[in-house]
Structure 1
């Protein structure tokens, strides 16, 4: 019985770091360049990334069908595109 408890605790200890590490996978690490007008029309939605919770930079993440683009929220083109999508 003690052996099973020890194995279970060891398994939990190994899983804990991998669960904590998963929270960083959706953060933008840098800003992309401004896309052309044709690409801007294909934006489906956006989300705002805050600097809390492990993400290092504030960003607006524009989502296309299969890709995403991280942008600087201070740029004029980013603010215009956000207004258009609201």
Structure 2
């Protein structure tokens, strides 16, 4: 499942550079996450890095974009061109 950034975002700029898929970008008012690029850091890290660094805890799972772990692995492989090693 992709992650999303809620309206509680304070535009602190710490999440964007942590995203290995470049899924986080500055939206009109707050940072946003492109669900087509978000793998919850599957393939890169054990936990989503944006959630780890967010000081206001405003990055929950995006219920509108449900994905299984297997789907996230396929997305990781497609985005990076690397084979998943778990």
TM-score in terms of structure 2 length:
0.27
TM-score in terms of structure 1 length:
0.27
Higher relative contact order (CA 8 A, sep 6+): 2
Q: Normalized per residue, which structure has more helix?
A: 1
Q: Which of the pair has more CA radius of gyration?
A: 1
Q: Normalized per residue, which structure has more strand?
A: 1
